[in-house]
Amino acid sequence: MKNRWAETPDNEIDQLVYQSRLVGAEESLVLWGGGNNSVKAHSTDLLGAPIPVMYIKSSGSDMKTIVPKEFPAVRLDYIEPLRSRDGEMSDQEMVDYLARCVVDPSSRRPSIETLLHAFLPARAVLHTHADAILALTNTRGRETTVRECFGDSVITVPYLRPGFRLSRDVADAFASKPDAEGLVLMNHGLITWGDTAREAYEKHVELVSRAEEYLSRGSRESGVGATTPDTRHPTPELLAPAIRGALGAKRSVILEFDGSEDVLRFLARDDAKRITQIGPATPDHLLYTKRYPLFLEAGDDVSKALNDYVERYTAHYKNYPSEFAMLDPHPRVVLVPGAGMWTAGKDARAARIVRDIYRHTMRIIESAQGAGGYETLNDEDAFHAEYWPLELYKLTLLPKEKELAGKVAIVTGAASGIGRACAERFAEEGAHVVVTDVDIALAEEVAKSIVAKHGLRRAIALRLDVSGEDDVERAYAETIAAYGGVDIIVSNAGISSFGSLDVLPAADWDRAFAVNARGHFLVARAALRVMKQQKTGGSIVFNASKNVTAPGKEFGAYSVSKAAEAQLCRIVALEGGEFGIRANMLNPDAIFGGSRFWSDEMRSMRATAYGISSENLPDFYRNRTLLKTEVTADDVAEAALFLAGPRSSKTTGAMVPVDGGVKEAFPR
């Protein structure tokens, strides 16, 4: 590992931030909020009296992007007496106590390992979950392996969950050998220290580098990497919907797929199934990835394999009587030799975290295998790590899930108007949105704005001409690759054409049907195929038109093709019902804001037909409604949300006007 320290900021907090970002940039040291660091200093209390304090990384902060305010100061004069406390201290007692030690009550909660840092006398302390260290401590030899690598230059401490007892054990171990270069926590990570953040960092890099070199020698000597390729599985595009449906039978999940070369190489190992069922490298990893992945071999039935996994998890839970209800028993990692790895999460960010952590788990397993054989937490330790009260308490603080949480929605014609409004509204309600349009530049703008507002991978943009069969199939394949499947379709893309029938070019008629009828058919057909594979139902919302029930003069091609779309919706409802797939349609009218439907030519044509000026056209349409109101794209999106989501779960084959009340368009 390269020592990247190149400058030393002036004050201690800035040095901590600098150290954190160097560490956070090394994925082999920490991932997604892992690791912690601290520095001891002096401050003043409310009355201006000097007090000893420790600035420590706040709980959950990401070292890669951390800022000064994420290092709360805690009073050492309050914490140090705990070192000599008699008896135990529960996790909740410790958390409550630390809350009273924070100098600024409005600051973020300090790390759960605050006591560990405070009990060490060194000014600067750094703790990471370095892959190389975890590989050393997750071997059959454990202590022997660590000694072979470091000799007597480091202290080792047996595995314990973070908390008061571990903090005291670490302090006692340090006191017995204060001249050690570092301290290795079994199944947990590495701690180094020094007078400055730089010194603690440089010791860390040195020890991790020694571990990496030791493991490299072991891998070369053991011949790790011998593999047997397995290509008997179906393609990822065919597997993903079945996997996602099986995992999301009770709660929708987002999948992330990784078919990279190193993942495929790992899964092609002769011993891949055995070594992946040993367990996670650390308790921290377990909280994200669960204890085991689901390993699918060629010919395995996905549903049966998942049921077996759930039974195994349930039996493990029953072996350890607990005051806590059983957590979700489904896997978060699915491994398929010859295909790749899928990771599951409540959203794309959670799935990405699981993916990143399990990629590191693979490397740790391989390194440990080369150093004598991979071993990790026993059954009891693994259970209590997963059912740790402090982590379970965090679950109670999570906000209520939104209406479309965990759902994947494809919206066609989503670069503007009704499509864009639907994409943005669905994202507000938790959906992951595939923004499709023939104008990819505009579609990308919409997707980027959704991601900026809602987070990692919450939207992607795809170019899609719905009239092209290959284009539609490609768009669904890319959606499956991105999220694992699809739950909701807003079949919105359409074109307008005008002209009386006696002069209408046949090409315009054909183009109207290519988009407004064939396009909806191709999109619905592909949706039905994926939704049947998932076996979790789905919802397809067709954006029809007021013209379905009230055709317009000189709008023949548009009106007839939209009527065909309406009939298609009814057929989809008939054929999809037994699979839990619903199909409903919206009939909006005169949506002007942000719509490409109303070109200058279209406005002029309709204004001329009504004998008014173009600028008065919106007022004309508004005044002809019973409610005398303007209908916006947002209004249509709200209706689409209702039809797409659980509030209309008993409704299919319905037609919902969103037109302000156009009496000529009343369904009849």
| Residue 249 pLDDT level (bands cut at 50, 70, 90) | confident
3-class SS letters over 89-116 = CCHHHHHHHHHHHECCCCCCCECCCHHH
Helices and strands counted in the chain (H then E): 25, 18
CA dist., res. 607 & res. 595, Å (int): 17
Q: Which helix (H) or strand (E) holds 490?
A: strand 488-491
pLDDT at 225: 47
For 602-649, the pLDDT digits (tens) are 777 777 777 788 777 878 888 889 999 888 899 999 999 999 999 999
Q: What would the pLDDT profile of 469-489 be if each residue is shown by its tens digit? A: 999 999 999 999 999 999 999
Neighbours of 668 (CB within 10 A): 6
pLDDT (0 to 100) of residue 233: 58
Please state which of the ranges 35-49, 395-409, 446-460 shows the lowest mean pLDDT.
Answer: 395-409
CB 349 within 8 A of CB 62: no
Instruction: Work out the percent of the chain whose per-residue pLDDT is above 70.
Output: 96
Choose, from 214, 476, 558, 621, the residue flagged as catalytic. Answer: 558
Residue 498 has pLDDT above 90, yes or no: no
Structural tokens at position 266: 């790992």
pLDDT at 226 over 60: no
Which of 211-225, 575-589, 606-620, 650-664 bottoms out in mean pLDDT, i.e. has the lowest? 211-225
User: What's the pLDDT tens digit per position in 57-72?
Assistant: 998 899 999 999 999 9
Q: Is the pLDDT at 20 greater than 80, yes or no?
A: yes
Which of 3-12, 38-47, 234-243, 507-516 comes out lowest in average pLDDT?
Answer: 234-243
Domains and CATH numbers, the chain: 12-222 (3.40.225.10), 236-396 (3.40.225), 408-597+630-665 (3.40.50.720)
Instruction: Report residue 43 as tokens.
Output: 């401050």
In our burial notation (b when 16+ CB lie closer than 10 A, e otherwise), range 18-55 reads bbbbbbbebebbbbbbbbbbbbbbeeeeeeeeebbbbb
* Averaged pLDDT for residues 215-220: 75
Mean pLDDT of 275-292: 92
CA distances from 22 to 54, 197, 361 (A): 21, 11, 22
Tell me what pLDDT residue 224 has: 47
Mean pLDDT of the chain: 92
For residue 279, which amino acid is it? G
Q: pLDDT exceeding 90 applies to what percent of the chain? A: 77
- Say which range, 101-115, 185-199, 557-571, 614-628, has the weakest mean pLDDT: 614-628
- Tally of CB atoms within 10 A around 339: 26
Please name the residue that has the structure tokens 């590191």. Answer: 360
Which comes out higher in pLDDT, residue 32 or 656? 656
159 has pLDDT over 80: yes
Q: What is the largest CA-CA distance in the chain?
A: 99
pLDDT band with cut points at 50, 70 and 90 for residue 668: low
Nearest to 281 by CA among 271, 291, 268: 291
Dihedral of CA 484/490/495/501: which sign?
Answer: positive
- Can you tell me the distance from the alpha carbon of 207 to that of 133, in angstroms, rounded to the nearest whole number? 9
- 558 is an active site residue: yes
Q: Average pLDDT in the 123-141 region?
A: 95
Spatial distance between the Cα atoms of 610 and 626, rounded to a whole number of angstroms = 18
What's the pLDDT band for 563 if we cut at 50, 70, 90? Answer: very high
Q: How far is CA 95 from CA 79, 634, 642, in A?
A: 12, 46, 43
